[in-house]
Amino acid sequence: MAQQSASNLPIPRWEFIALCAALMALNSLAIDIMLPALQQIGASLGVMSENHRQYVITAYMLGFGGGQLFFGPISDRFGRRAPLVFGLIVYVAAAAAAAVAPSFALLLTCRLIQGFGAAATRVIAVPIVRDTFVGRRMAEVMS
């Protein structure tokens, strides 16, 4: 793919950097936003064991790990946009389903699927920057 400078990006450079930062932060947000709610989630869904409540994070991380194995090669083969959009749609749909999950098992399933979708953002954001910038400019954008 041809290397671009900030002057010929289809969007302003600051918007591109903000988009990449948001994509990278989505994974941390999906984990950190659940941590303070684990006790209430457990109480609402009848999960009294503290260790079992932590499966909410474990399920997400398992999906995230598996998703990386899927989205990496797919984005190399079919481009960056379609797999990224697909991953975001999966993420949002699973998050919405998790928000209304009536059982702990369904919540865990939704979190697994949500992690799978979130993997697209992490795996694809880095190559997007790498495809767009080189050298010092790439390091600046990544930081």
Domain residues of the chain, as ranges?
Answer: 10-142
- pLDDT higher for 130 or 143? 130
Structure tokens at 80: 């960056």
**Does domain 10-142 match CATH 3.30.390.50?**
no
What lies within 8 Å, CB to CB, of 21 at 6+ separation is: none
Q: pLDDT tens for residues 96-124?
A: 999 999 999 999 999 999 999 999 999 99
Residue that has been written with the tokens 């932060």 in this structure: 25
Assign 12 a pLDDT band (cuts: 50, 70, 90). confident
Question: What is the average pLDDT across 74-90?
Answer: 95
pTM of the complete model: 0.86
pLDDT at site 1: 46
